[in-house]
Chain A
Amino acid sequence: MEMSKLVSIVFAAAIPAVIAQSYRVETIDFPPHVAPEVGGLDFTPEGEIVVALRRHGVLMAMPSEDPSAFPWHVFAEDILHNSCGLQAISKNEIIVSQMAELTRIKDEDGDGIADLYETISDQWGVSGNYHETNTIVPHPDGGWYIAIGTASHNGPTFFNTKGAFSDMGRLGRNFAGVEWKGWVLRVFEDGSVTPFAKGFRMHNGIGLDSKGRLFATDNQGDWRGTSPLYLVEKDHFYGHPSALVWDEEFTKNVSENPLQYYMDNREQYEKDRTRAVVEMPQGFMCNSPSQPLFDMTEGRFGPFAGQIFVGDIAGARIIRCMLEEVNGQLQGACVKFVDHDLRPGNNRLVFSPDGRSLYTGQTVRGWGNPSEGLQRITFTGKTPFEVQSMSLQKSGFKIRFTKPVDKASASELSNYAMSRYWYLSSHRYGSNQKDMTEIAIKDAEVSQDGLTVSLKIDGLEAKRIFELNLQEGLLARDGSRISQPQICYTANTLR
C-alpha cells in the first residue's frame, strides 16, 4: 500500500472525514441574557437570519464570518407561545405560528422593532396540553400549510378549551382532543382554512420540494413503529387514528372511535393508511425527526443537491434522505449526514442565501438534557466520500458514491453486509425490528467510472427496510474511507 493512502486511512479513522475535511461545524453565539431555544428559523430576502425563540421573541442578525460576533438585534420583543413555525417575508415582516394562532408580525414605523401582531388565523383548537405544537411552510400558491401536532398523555388538558372538545379524540397516548390536531391544514391569506391531510402524530416538520410537493416527518411512538418521512397528499390518511375524530365522513360512516376501530381492524388499517416514503430506523438512525429541508443549493452545499436533510431533536445529528420513483411511487433511503459533531436538539434547518451553509436551530424541551442554540455547517468545497444515492434494481440495489471507489475493495463481497426487517405500526409505542433477516450479497459490480456499485442480492421483498452496512475495507480510489457506512432503503414496492 502506498504511504499516502495509509496515512489518509489512519487519519480518516481518527476523525470523521465528512466533518474534518468537507464540512465545518461552528457554534453561533447569542448574548448571555438570551436562552436560544430555537422554534423557528429563516432568512430574510435581505440576507439576515431570523430566529424565533421560546422566551425572547424573534431576533435577527446579518451573519458574520466570525460565529461569535453575530450582531443580534431584537425584531419582536414579545414572548410568543411556542413559536415553532416561521416565514421571513422581509426585514420588516414575518409570519409566525404560535400555539393558538398564525400571526403576521410587522414593523410599521420602521424603527426595526415590530409593532403590529395581526392574527391571520386561529381556526384550530387549543386544549391546554403542552404538546400541541404547530409549524408552517408557505404554500406555492399563496397562504400556508400548517401542521397541527397532537397532545401528549404526559400532560393534561384544561377544563376550559379553545374550540370544541371531543371525548373520543382525548383517548389514546397522543391524542386529538380539540380540532385539527393531527392534521395538515391549508391556510389562505384571508385566514380561512381547509383540511388537507390527516392522521399525523407529531409532524414537527414540513417542507416542500422543488416541485412544490409537501413532505412531513413524524415521530416514532403510538402508531409509528419508527419515524417516517411522508409525501403528504390531499385527503390521505397517515396512520395515526386520533385525528379522524375531526373527520365527519369517518365518524359518520365508519366509527365514532377511530382509535378502537383501527385497533380492532388491522387489515383495514393497512389498506387505509399511506405509507412513509422513507422510514428512519429508531435509535441508530434517528430518534425524533424535525424539519425536512430539500437541498436546492445546486451543489453549493456539496454533492447532495435535491436530497433532503432532516434534523434530529433527540440526537446530535442530521439525517440525509434520498428519493426515487418506483412504479410511480416515491420511496428511498436515509443515511446520517452529521453525527456526534453537533449538539442535539436539531429542530429547524435553513440554508444560508449563498447555499454554502446549513444552519441548525436547536432546542430540547422538557425531556433529555437541555440543548439549545444555533450551529452552522459549512461546505469547505472538498468532496466527502459518501453514498450519494441508493437505488432499487430488479435484482438488488445500485449504490452511487460521491467519489470513485477503489475497484478491488468495492468488488469484494465481504465489504457489504445487508439485513432486512420491518416495523409494525400499532397502538403500542414504537416497534422492534420484525423478521430480521441477513441478506446475502451475490455480486458487486463496479462501473467503469468507479462511481457506482451494483449489488445483486437474494431476498428482495416489498414493504421491507433493507439496511446496508459498508465495511471498513471499502475504499475510495483516493484511499479515503466512507464516513457514514450505514444506509437504510424503504422498499414499499419492487421494480
Chain B
Amino acid sequence: MKPFHILGVLFLCFQLHGNAEQGKAVFAAYCASCHGPEGAGLIGPNLTDAQVLHGSAHEQIRNVIANGIPSKAMPAWSAILSPQQIEDVTLFVESIMGLNLPSPVLTGESSVTPFPQGTLARPLLMRTFMPKLELEDEVFAHHYTSRKTPKYKAKTGIFNIDDFDLPIDGLPGAIAVNFGEKLSYCFDTTECRLLYAWSGGFMDMTNYWGEGSGNRRKKFGYIGELLGPVSYMASGPASLSGEPKFKGYRKVNSIPEFLYSIDGVEFTLRIEPGEAPGDLLCHYTSRNWKGKRSLQFTPEAAEQIQSNKGSFKNGTLTLKAKEAASFTLSIKANS
C-alpha cells in the first residue's frame, strides 16, 4: 500500500470515525451478503482493492451505492437507505479500500437456485417435463403410449430379450405456471387441458437443473418435484371431445392466456388464483361454438367446479353459444 493511501485512510477514519462506524453496521446489514463480511467480495466485487470498479473517488462510490449498476445486479440503494446511511457506508467502503484482502475462491457459485418462483402480479411460466401424479389414463386420450423394449448392448449389438428398458411416468409437453405460494398449475399442450393445480410453493428442479448453478441432472430423475399439496386433478375424458390443437399463449397483464382449438371451437383460457390457496378461476372465451353444447365432468370434478354461465346439472354443463363466448369455471381446492 502506498503511504498516501495509508495517510488517506487514517485521515478519513480520524475525521469521520463516528460515521464510518455507522457505515460498518449498514454494510453488515445490507452489503455483506454480496460483497462478503469483510468486503473482500462474494458475488459482488472485492472492495478492499486499492481501486474499485466504477471509480474510487468519494463521489463516484456514493453514486454507485445510491444509483446501482443494474447490468451487474448492484441495486440502487437510494430506494432503501437514507442519504445519511449512504454517506456512512460510502465512508466505510473507503476505509476498507486498499486493505487488499484476498477474494474467497468461488467456483461456479451464484445466487441461482433450483427453486424458480413467480408472484401474484407476475406469474412465472415454465415449460419442462412435469410429473404425471396419479392422473388417470382417460386424461391422456391424445397422447400415445410407449412400451418396454429389449435392452440393447451397443458393444455386442445384441438385444437382451430377458432385460427391458422400461418407460417412466411424466408429461412430455406440459406448461407449469406459478403465482407464488397461492397457486401453481399444470396445463397440457397435447390435451389442451388443465391437468392439476397445487399451492404452497412451485417446483424443486434439482433433479433436472442440479443444485444451485451446479448444472448436473440426476441420472434418470430429471422431472422436477411439486412443492405443496395438490388442490385439483383432472379426471375422466376431456369435457369436449375432438382433436385439440395448441396454438400458443398470450400474456395479458403478465398472466398467460392459452390459445387452442377443439373440434373447430377456438378457445382462450386464462387461469388465475381464486380466494383460498389452491383455488382456481378459469376464464374461457370461445368462438365458433355452434348451438347448445354440453361439457361432461366426472362426479369428483363436478364437486369442485362451478360455472358462472349455463346450467350445471349432474356433472353436465350446458352452454349456449352466447354463454360460451365468455364463461368462468371456479374450482375450489379439495381438502
- The interface of chain A, by Cβ under 8 A from chain B, is 29, 31-35, 37, 54-55, 61, 68-72, 77-81, 98-101, 103-104, 114-119, 122, 125-128, 130, 153-165, 167, 170-173, 177-178, 222, 263, 363-366, 370, 372, 427-429
By DSSP majority rule, is chain B's interface helix, strand, loop, or mixed?
loop
Given contacts A34-B110, A127-B146, A128-B167, 11 further A-B contacts (CB under 8 A): A32-B34, A33-B73, A99-B173, A100-B189, A125-B144, A153-B165, A158-B132, A158-B167, A177-B146, A370-B214, A428-B157
Q: Which of B87-95, B120-128, B278-286, B304-312 contacts A (4 or more CB under 8 A)?
A: B120-128
* Pairwise interchain contact B152-A162, C-beta atoms closer than 8 A: no
Contact A79:B116 (CB < 8 A) given known A35-B110, A70-B71: yes
* Shortest distance between the CB of B276 and any CB in chain A (Å): 27
* Shortest distance between the CB of B209 and any CB in chain A (Å): 6
Contact A77:B124 (CB < 8 A) given known A126-B172, A156-B166: yes
Decide if B103 is an interface residue (CB 8 Å cutoff). Answer: no
Q: Which of B6-14, B21-29, B246-254, B288-296 contacts A (4 or more CB under 8 A)?
A: B246-254
Within the assembled complex, what's the spacing in Å between the Cα atoms of A53 and B205? 15
* Pairwise interchain contact B71-A159, C-beta atoms closer than 8 A: no
Q: Which chain B residues border A428 with CB–CB below 8 Å?
A: 154-155, 157
Decide if B3 is an interface residue (CB 8 Å cutoff). Answer: no
* Pairwise interchain contact B213-A35, C-beta atoms closer than 8 A: yes
Decide if B147 is an interface residue (CB 8 Å cutoff). Answer: yes
* Shortest distance between the CB of B112 and any CB in chain A (Å): 4
5 cross-chain pairs, A with B, having the tightest CB-CB distances, nearest first: A370-B215, A81-B127, A79-B126, A126-B172, A31-B73
- Which among A68, A159, A163, A427 has the greatest number of chain B C-beta atoms within 10 A? A159
* Pairwise interchain contact B215-A167, C-beta atoms closer than 8 A: no
Smallest CB gap from A169: residue in B: B149
Within the assembled complex, what's the spacing in Å between the Cα atoms of A103 and B231? 31
Q: Which of B116, B173, B215 is A126 in contact with, Cβ under 8 Å?
A: B173
Q: Which chain B residues border A103 with CB–CB below 8 Å?
A: 248
* Shortest distance between the CB of B176 and any CB in chain A (Å): 9
* Shortest distance between the CB of A429 and any CB in chain B (Å): 5
* Pairwise interchain contact B216-A33, C-beta atoms closer than 8 A: no
* Shortest distance between the CB of B166 and any CB in chain A (Å): 7
Within the assembled complex, what's the spacing in Å between the Cα atoms of A37 and B110? 13
A-B CB contact pairs (8 Å), 21 listed: A29-B72, A32-B43, A34-B110, A37-B215, A78-B124, A99-B173, A100-B172, A116-B249, A119-B247, A128-B129, A128-B146, A153-B165, A155-B220, A156-B220, A157-B167, A159-B170, A161-B146, A162-B173, A167-B149, A171-B159, A366-B217
Q: Which of A160, A263, A365 is B171 in contact with, Cβ under 8 Å?
A: A160
Q: Which of B145, B219, B251 is A160 in contact with, Cβ under 8 Å?
A: B145
* Pairwise interchain contact B112-A33, C-beta atoms closer than 8 A: yes
Contact A160:B217 (CB < 8 A) given known A171-B149, A172-B154: no
* Shortest distance between the CB of B69 and any CB in chain A (Å): 8
Decide if B335 is an interface residue (CB 8 Å cutoff). Answer: no
Decide if B240 is an interface residue (CB 8 Å cutoff). Answer: no
Within the assembled complex, what's the spacing in Å between the Cα atoms of A379 and B266? 53
Within the assembled complex, what's the spacing in Å between the Cα atoms of A61 and B72? 12
Decide if B70 is an interface residue (CB 8 Å cutoff). Answer: yes
* Shortest distance between the CB of A240 and any CB in chain B (Å): 12
Contact A156:B71 (CB < 8 A) given known A126-B172, A171-B150, A427-B157: no
Q: Which chain B residues border A33 with CB–CB below 8 Å?
A: 73, 110-112
Within the assembled complex, what's the spacing in Å between the Cα atoms of A93 and B33? 37
Contact A165:B72 (CB < 8 A) given known A159-B168, A370-B108: no
Within the assembled complex, what's the spacing in Å between the Cα atoms of A70 and B124? 25
Decide if B229 is an interface residue (CB 8 Å cutoff). Answer: no
Q: Which of B243-277 contact A (CB under 8 A)?
A: 246-252
Within the assembled complex, what's the spacing in Å between the Cα atoms of A368 and B60? 42
* Pairwise interchain contact B147-A165, C-beta atoms closer than 8 A: yes
Smallest CB gap from A132: residue in B: B172
- Which among A55, A70, A170 has the greatest number of chain B C-beta atoms within 10 A? A55
Smallest CB gap from A263: residue in B: B157
* Shortest distance between the CB of A177 and any CB in chain B (Å): 6
Smallest CB gap from A119: residue in B: B248
* Shortest distance between the CB of B163 and any CB in chain A (Å): 12
Contact A161:B172 (CB < 8 A) given known A35-B112, A370-B108, A428-B154: yes
Number of interface residues of B (CB under 8 A): 65
Q: Which chain B residues border A157 with CB–CB below 8 Å?
A: 146, 165, 167-168
Smallest CB gap from B42: residue in A: A32
Q: Which chain B residues border A164 with CB–CB below 8 Å?
A: 144
* Pairwise interchain contact A158-B70, C-beta atoms closer than 8 A: no
* Shortest distance between the CB of A375 and any CB in chain B (Å): 15
Q: Which chain B residues border A71 with CB–CB below 8 Å?
A: 70-71
Within the assembled complex, what's the spacing in Å between the Cα atoms of A388 and B1? 49
* Pairwise interchain contact A161-B248, C-beta atoms closer than 8 A: no
- Which among B34, B132, B143, B214 has the greatest number of chain A C-beta atoms within 10 A? B143
Within the assembled complex, what's the spacing in Å between the Cα atoms of A173 and B158? 11
* Shortest distance between the CB of A350 and any CB in chain B (Å): 20
Q: Which chain B residues border A153 with CB–CB below 8 Å?
A: 152, 154, 165
* Shortest distance between the CB of B249 and any CB in chain A (Å): 5
* Shortest distance between the CB of B214 and any CB in chain A (Å): 6
Contact A118:B247 (CB < 8 A) given known A55-B112, A370-B214, A427-B154: yes
- Which among A32, A164, A178 has the greatest number of chain B C-beta atoms within 10 A? A32
Contact A31:B171 (CB < 8 A) given known A80-B127, A128-B129, A156-B165: no
Decide if B78 is an interface residue (CB 8 Å cutoff). Answer: no
* Pairwise interchain contact A35-B215, C-beta atoms closer than 8 A: yes
Decide if B77 is an interface residue (CB 8 Å cutoff). Answer: no
* Pairwise interchain contact A130-B222, C-beta atoms closer than 8 A: yes
* Shortest distance between the CB of B251 and any CB in chain A (Å): 4
Q: Which of A78, A161, A177 is B127 in contact with, Cβ under 8 Å?
A: A78
Q: Which chain B residues border A167 with CB–CB below 8 Å?
A: 147, 149
Within the assembled complex, what's the spacing in Å between the Cα atoms of A35 and B44? 15
* Pairwise interchain contact B157-A128, C-beta atoms closer than 8 A: no
Q: Which of B168, B205, B251 is A128 in contact with, Cβ under 8 Å?
A: B168
* Pairwise interchain contact A115-B127, C-beta atoms closer than 8 A: no
Contact A128:B170 (CB < 8 A) given known A34-B112, A37-B215: yes
Within the assembled complex, what's the spacing in Å between the Cα atoms of A79 and B145? 27
Provide the B234-246 mask, 1 if CB < 8 A to any CB of A, else 0. 0000000000001
Decide if B59 is an interface residue (CB 8 Å cutoff). Answer: no
* Shortest distance between the CB of A119 and any CB in chain B (Å): 4
